[in-house]
Amino acid sequence: MQKSNRAVASLILSASLSAASLIAACGSSPIAGISASSAAGSNPATPPAQHLAIADAEDNRILIFNTPFTTDENASVVLGQPDFTQQQPNQGSGPADNTVSFPRGLAMDAAGNLYVADSGNCRVLQFRPPFTTNMDASLILGESPQGDESCATGPASVDTPSSVVIDAHGDLWVVEANRVAEYMPPFTNDMSPSVVLGQTSATGDPCNSGGAMSTGGNPSPSAATLCNAVGATFDSRGDLWVTDALNGRVLEYAPPFATGMAATLELGVTGAQPFTSLGCTSGEAVSAKLCFPQALAFDSNGNLWVTTAFSGISEFAPPFSNGMAAQMIIAQPPPSNTDPPSASTTIIPYGIFQSGDGNLLVSDTGDNRVLIFAPPFGPGMQASTVIGQPNMTTGTDVAGTAANKLWYPVGVLTF
């Protein structure tokens, strides 16, 4: 199968946005012995990375790489596929304990368990270390192991999950189509969430809770609604931050959390009453707007980094306020979609993660690669390393699936 970079990513993104869901469309370890023992995800105090995990969405797999991370490196472990050459969803059959379909977000808890937003199968998987190729998941939230992929809305259902994040208490938060659900341990298969944000109940799912229609074709937003939520992270105070893609904004929620609660702060919407107007809805790069925000991460200085589908990566510095402008935008798109990739550009950046050494890792989905940016950060800066491509100026893969290749990478984290 021939793979394309920007065309594939643009088609998937266009289809998903119209449907209000992004899916529709120190030293090395041996392959069989990678272990993880420290928390990652949104924790800016993560120790130096030993391994890198990437959700390789269109190849329907999760790849794990060992340090030192180098350009054109081969992965050492693959989850979701029997080897590094297979790419079919669910290995060409129905969903099973060892398969995935269009995986997106990744998270890791304090015990080193890896969580995967298995978007195409409408479920979340947990894998326990040590990680080995083609291993079975140890826990499934959402559809049953051999589920029907119906993505039905209900208390124990998960609707096309895009991201997962673990909070300081060990609770699992799952970002779905138009809501964010909290699951409290001990986790069990098919359990129901304890809190749902963005909806008035645990069974609600419509864009902006199905409110009155706006001129943009979707119900108007409010401080308590979401429309195509994509990413989430926690700050050092325990506040939850969520990217609300179709509303063009990032929302902050302060604990205690409760179903249907209102957000306390909004980034990305300017010149209007907070929480009731849409933000960026086209491919514009404006420092105070967020054009289809995707993922977000805090660095060790408390700065918030947000990836956007069409306008690069925005950095917001505290103190945060409604409608504030970003202090910096890096890795913006090239002048033309036909221009080749470079070390300073991205096409539809999605996942973002800060490793313990201060590096920012960004999944450049449209160019089928993950970029590593080393501090200090500044406008126009270049990435130091690329994973998934042989060099910084290549973004297309037409030679088949392999251990050193990516096709539409999404979630990324180090551990």
Q: How far is CA 18 from CA 15, 44, 151, in A?
A: 5, 34, 18
What are the start-end ranges of the E strands in 309-357?
A: 312-316, 328-330, 349-354
pLDDT band at 298 (very low <50, low <70, confident <90, very high): very high
Question: Per residue in 145-165, pLDDT tens?
Answer: 444 555 665 666 888 999 999
Question: Per residue in 35-74, pLDDT tens?
Answer: 222 222 334 445 678 999 999 999 999 999 999 999 999 9
Going 141 to 405 to 34 to 136, the CA torsion angle's sign is positive
Q: Which two tokens stand for residue 14?
A: 């266009």
Q: Strand 312-316's sheet: what is its strand order?
A: 293-298, 304-308, 312-316, 328-330
Q: What 8-state DSSP symbol labels residue 30? A: -
Which residues contact residue 20 at a Cβ distance below 8 angstroms, ignoring those fewer than 6 apart?
177, 178, 207, 218, 227, 228, 246
What is d(CA 48, CA 300) in angstroms, rounded to the nearest whole number? 13
Residue 190 has pLDDT above 90, yes or no: no
What is d(CA 275, CA 385) in angstroms, rounded to the nearest whole number? 38
Q: Which two tokens stand for residue 228?
A: 């195509």
Q: What is the mean pLDDT of the chain?
A: 85
The H or E element that residue 26 is part of is: none
Helix ranges (DSSP H) in 1-137: 6-18
pTM: predicted TM-score of the whole model, two decimal places: 0.88
Q: Which two tokens stand for residue 212?
A: 């009155």
Question: Per residue in 355-386, pLDDT tens?
Answer: 999 999 999 999 999 999 999 999 999 999 99
Picking from 316, 324, 328, 333, the residue whose alpha carbon sits closest to that of residue 378 is: 328
Average pLDDT of 68-90? 97
State the residue for tokens 């790069």: 285
In our burial notation (b when 16+ CB lie closer than 10 A, e otherwise), range 1-13 reads eebbbbebbbebb
Q: Which two tokens stand for residue 288?
A: 């105070």
Which residues contact residue 151 at a Cβ distance below 8 angstroms, ignoring those fewer than 6 apart?
122, 143, 157, 158, 159, 160
For residue 150, the model assigns a pLDDT of 59
Going 281 to 345 to 299 to 415, the CA torsion angle's sign is positive
What is d(CA 361, CA 342) in angstroms, rounded to the nearest whole number? 16
pLDDT band at 280 (very low <50, low <70, confident <90, very high): confident
What is d(CA 370, CA 34) in angstroms, rounded to the nearest whole number? 21
3-state class of 120 per DSSP?
helix
3-state class of 367 per DSSP?
helix
DSSP 280-306: --SS---TT--SSEEEEEE-TTS-EEE
Decide if 290 contacts 268 (C-beta within 8 A).
yes
- Name which residue leads in pLDDT, 262 or 269: 262
Question: Per residue in 304-331, pLDDT tens?
Answer: 999 998 889 999 999 999 999 999 999 9
pLDDT band at 135 (very low <50, low <70, confident <90, very high): very high
Decide if 39 contacts 49 (C-beta within 8 A).
no
What's phi and psi for 366, nearest 5 deg?
A: -65, -25
3-state class of 342 per DSSP?
coil
Residue 97 has pLDDT above 60, yes or no: yes
Q: How far is CA 76 from CA 67, 205, 258, 330, 344, in A?
A: 11, 38, 41, 30, 28
Q: How far is CA 11 from CA 6, 14, 15, 110, in A?
A: 8, 5, 6, 37
Q: How far is CA 111 from CA 39, 42, 45, 353, in A?
A: 7, 15, 16, 19
Q: Which two tokens stand for residue 321?
A: 């306020």
For residue 281, the model assigns a pLDDT of 59
